[in-house]
Every structure is written in structure tokens, then in C-alpha cells.
A and B are shown apart, each in its own frame.
Chain A
Amino acid sequence: QKEVEQNSGPLSVPEGAIASLNCTYSDRGSQSFFWYRQYSGKSPELIMFIYSNGDKEDGRFTAQLNKASQYVSLLIRDSQPSDSATYLCAVSPTARQLTFGSGTQLTVLP
């Protein structure tokens, strides 16, 4: 059974702080890793993808991947109240489907 695990939260951070979201996965053969943001009642919105070990930065977002530890993380710098949402980690074992975690609910307090 291929699993993607995330802390469900809620995670609360003050505005301007760094939010750190974590994800572990069970399938060692996984090749692609994604972070999606989902506002309540809306569809998943792609934020970041990462394929190689290390860090990948895009604006205020940094994704980190460690395949040896089967660990993916997302850092959000200078968090804003508009970042308040559920963050979904998704792993692609076959490149033709995504396996999602249950999501971490983030609240950024003004």
C-alpha cells in the first residue's frame, strides 16, 4: 500500500514567519513530488514540484526533497494570511497518477 503521510495540523504561524510543512512517503520508487494548496471547497492548486534531491526555490516557497529518508518538505517564508489553506503533498510513483496525503491545515495569524 503506497502511503503519503502528513501532519494534519492545524499549524498556526504569525504573519511574516516561516511555515514548515512536512511529508513522508512509503514508495521508494517514487520519482516526482508535488505540493498543492487547497482552499476550503476549492480544487488543488499546484505550488511546487521537485524531482531531485535538495532544495528548489520559487519566490517565497522552498521545496526540499530527501529520497534516502523518503521525506519532502515545503517552507513558506514571510507567511501571509492569504496563505491560510490546506497544503497537500502528492507523490507520483508511476508518472500517471498522484497519491495524495491527507493535507496539513495552515493558519497564518495577522
Chain B
Amino acid sequence: EPEVTQTPSHQVTQMGQEVILRCVPISNHLYFYWYRQILGQKVEFLVSFYNNEISEKSEIFDDQFSVERPDGSNFTLKIRSTKLEDSAMYFCASSELADTQYFGPGTRLTVL
């Protein structure tokens, strides 16, 4: 069964450093999303992406964040200058149409 994959599974970085989280959505899916979940808290929407552009973003997704689809298979989330409060699980999701979203296994980001 096709699934969303994410790399790395765990990323440790120093405050102020840039990180890039990578995702490979399900191959025939057209819509891509990033969510995050701080330990013990709700899953929170960050951004949705369709047709090579952002279609929606939340208040969390400020100028420190960017997304890109650099080729036909990868979808990335970049955090330019990480803060301690960026420590969280980051989930990529994809959907064939703008409906049912399937989540990847997540990347645990730890900012020291």
C-alpha cells in the first residue's frame, strides 16, 4: 500500500541553525501539507500546497518557514533559524483530492 515517507526520523539542531525536513508524498497525490505536534499537545496545521504554490497557511507559518517541491517527488519544509519552541514532531501529509489526508511517520525535531 502506498504511503507517505519522511526523512530524517529525528533531527537534532542548535538554535539559530537552518533545518530542512523532507517528505515523499504518495505518488498520485496532488495536495501536500505540513503539520506539527508539540509534545503533549494538539496536531496543528502549518501549510497546504497545491500546483506548486501555497494554498493556505496558519499563523504559525511565519517568515521563518518555507516549503518547496524541488522535483516531482519530494516536498520539503525549511525552518530558516530554529528556535527552542520549534521542537516538535513534524508530519507531512498528502491527499489525492482536497479531502482525505494521509500522514507520514513524522520527523522529531529537537532544537538545543
Contact = CB atoms under 8 A, between A and B. Distances in A.
Interface of A: 32, 34, 36, 42-46, 49, 88, 90, 92, 94-103
Contacts of A94: 56
B100 A97 contact: no
A14 B14 CA distance: 46
Q: How large is the interface on B (under 10, 10 to 19, 20 to 34, 35 or more residues)?
A: 20 to 34
B44 A100 contact: yes
A92 B72 CA distance: 27
Given A32-B99, A43-B106, A45-B103, A97 B58 contact: yes
The 3 residue pairs across chains A and B that have the minimum distance between CB atoms? A95-B98, A100-B43, A96-B48
Interface of B: 31, 33, 35, 41-45, 48, 50, 55-56, 58, 89, 91, 98-106
25 contacts: A34-B100, A34-B101, A42-B105, A42-B106, A43-B91, A43-B103, A43-B104, A44-B91, A45-B103, A46-B101, A46-B102, A49-B99, A49-B100, A90-B43, A92-B99, A96-B48, A96-B55, A96-B56, A97-B33, A98-B33, A100-B42, A100-B43, A100-B44, A101-B42, A102-B41
